Structure 1
Amino acid sequence: MNDDRPPPTGRRDDGDRLRLALDAAGAVGTFVFDAASDRLDGDSCFWSLHGAASRTVVRRLSDLKALVAVGDRERLGAVLRAVGEGSLPRLLVEYSASVGGTACALLLRGGRLDDGRVAGIVLDITEQRDVEAALRESEMRFEAIANSIDQMIWSTTPDGYHDYYNRRWYEFTGVPEGTTDGEGWNGMFHPDDQERAWERWRESLATGEPYHIEYRLRHRSGSYRWVIGRAQCVRDEAGRIVRWYGTCTDIQDLKEAEAQRELIARELSHRIRNIFAVVSSLVMLPTRAQPESRPFALSVQARIQALAAAHDYVRPHSPASATPGPQTVQGLLSRLVEPYNAADRSRIVVDGDDREIGLQAATALALIVHELATNAVKYGALATDGGIVGVASAATDDRFVLVWRETGGPRVAGPPTRSGFGTSLSERVVQMQLNATFSREWLPTGLVVTIDMPAARLAS
């Protein structure tokens, strides 16, 4: 069947369409080289990319070489002729040229035609090479920094695939490079730590939360050493994770120092406990010859025992006497008031906000609570069967307030006419060791004591 339709108007031949495509691509020049006649036919873009001022498009290979950096001339000519002769399957060569006094990187690529000529294009790849050079320089700086610090550094892809370790990692582990890529890193952990490390790492990968864990890592000696593993993700502008960067820090020496320090601290606590016992005995010794001094000696002995209890709570003399978890105000108060509470009834109830406590603050609070409890037994809420004491604490970022409230005891007529030794001691301890205010309210229903201290003093 004949097609009588006229050809479409405005149709271009293949050469025109190729030129339009190359123009749209930007700085791309075309050429044909005939080695037999030494004819080099390049379009205007081809020659302008080489910095040629003339618009002449037909030249010789020597004309091109004259526009190329001296060190690249012979190599460029050799490659062009080799492709024309068929000894090279394709043309692909990079070289430099000077355009307006500025060095440019060019890429010549193409192939051999059936008639032996070489046809191809030239591309300006200066920007690409500048980016690659900047990237190489950045990578070199990163490697220099990563290998200069005494820490193991690693990175992963967004899914957690480990693909980089610095030199320190291989020096520490002694494994061949690349053997811990991917998931191979987990096999370097102590068997008892592997599942825990995996679980924590999977959680970070799923949530993007920072990775932080302590585990034992196999050293090149074959032993396991404690390290801290940390990692954080890097996100793109859309919030997607694009990379994880992490470190491993050897803390074996620190762990051993902590163990040694703990051993020394326990030994010291044991000796201090013995000192408390000796002092307590010495206080009671004169009462054999002076029975009239026994009440005073007993009160001093009770204070020493309160201090011993506080010290043993914060600095236990043995693992058996240690309280699980951190030492806190609530834990100390519960231990101090335990002798006043029966199995079926609590006479002193402790509640409220809790904070960790140090040795100095613990000994101060122990003296204060002992004095308040002793007076409550003698004169206050604990002097009757129905009386109780509430010890409530409230904490803010910078203050810690402790309130001792007695109810159900004898009706209070007013403040006492004089202060005893214990009361004066408590006020002095509060002011000097805790930098706190100590106030009393003698309500008809019972005594209320408020201790207001800087929160930072609790850690002392």
Structure 2
Amino acid sequence: MVSRSGEVVGGLFFGHPETERFTEHHEFLMDGIANQAATAIDNARLYQTAQREIEVRRNTERELLKTQNDLEAAQERIKLALEAGAIIGTWIWYVPEDIITADERFARAFGLDPARCHDGLPLKDATLSIHVDDVARVEAAINTSLMRGGRYSEEYRVRHADGNYRWVEANGRCQLDAEGQPLRFPGVLIDIEQRKQVEINLKRREADLALLLDATADGFYAVDTEGKTTRCNATFLRMLGFTSEADVVGKELHDIIHHSHVDGSHYPPEQCPIYRVAQSGDLAHVDDEVFFRTDGTSFHVEYWVRPVIWEGELQGAVCNIVDISERKRAENARQLLLQELNHRIKNLFSITNGMIQMTARNSTDVKQMANALSGRLMSLARAHDLIATSITTKSSTAGPSRLRTLVETVMEPHVGSRSAALKMSGPEVSIGPSAMTSLALILHELATNAAKYGALSDPNGSVSVMWEMSDEALTLSWKEAGGPKVAGAPDREGFGSQLARLSAKGQLGGAIEYIWEPAGVEILLTVAADRVGR
């Protein structure tokens, strides 16, 4: 079977069990049937082809209709955006010709002639109104898009027709040809002045908040729910020894600043009140723990932890930290001074008893004894007045006094009328209230020990007090002579000696040294020069 176009489309077969049954008439009939079958097949194929073409056409029409609808929707959205003021202009830059065409809104935004923008103008003319501080950045972004193609986005300021600058955002796409060369560069211009003002106001408020936080004496430290630091203030950085906020933001600091308890035992992160509040939303207050600086040293702190909640969701926690090292030292000093008060009371009884006996041995009658004893007791009271401020207050409010006067006042109850029992030598040195308190405590302790066990316990004993002042320190030498023979250093350091050592080191920034000579103890006391006048 052959189609009208001469294409073989199939074949027909006729058969009979007996031979020579077909005649020429039958063959002619077969040819006719074959031609009709070929025509039918050919017509069927033409029909199928037509059906496919019709279906393709229908699909194309549907696609065109959809594209038309999408285009109309896009045009409507652009129109709405333009009318709403979000998009303030559109442009197309034909890069090879360096001609940019733009709509009227674009022209107004750049302070250009709308007619020129409609007809086309060079890019350099269209960008003349960009703020001088933004030009280099915009040109760099455009050049990058020209080289790579694709999306372009940049924010900058442009001068409007009224002479004022406003922030805009330019969004476009550079289209490249088959050889990778820039061809067209369409885009839109969006007014972001209001958004920029909001951002500026937020930055200003952020700066004000940071300034306020940095001005506080307390350390400020915030974490998210995972324990990572989100922000801190300058006091926190100074307190812990960090250089900048970049050293802590985004990091978990527990293993750096909070890894151990006061007793030195390990502090697991899951037990940390700061992390616990950040995860639970509870409150926490810890009145005495230790934090560790980056150099490994520790200090006592009191801190409060509060949850940070935004729009009903827990964001983390904020911790306010107070360095209570001074408070702890003051508490320790207070306890020490309370013990000193007990110690002094006991010493007062002992000294009073010794003075009564010494006065009795050297008095000829009761009246003479009463007068001498009264004077010595009053001298002891005056010396006690010098150390009273260290027991009741942090420091005396009195003005500077002379070192010689201080030594005389402290020693008077112990030497009395025995002028040879005290020898003093040294320049005039003014002593500040705080230093006087500490020196009075130390000298009172030395004098008491000398009266109880040393040179002043013997009627023929004496004490030599000499001092000198340099740019670095005040050096005071205390030498005893004429008393009982010194067997050597005591087996243990008494409370009074401990007090003297702590006062010399802590309050006076110096040291105290004992030299146990058989003829009498020698004591060397140094005071830092910058502490003498305090």
TM-score, L = length of structure 2: 0.44
Larger Rg computed on CA atoms: 2
TM-score, L = length of structure 1: 0.50
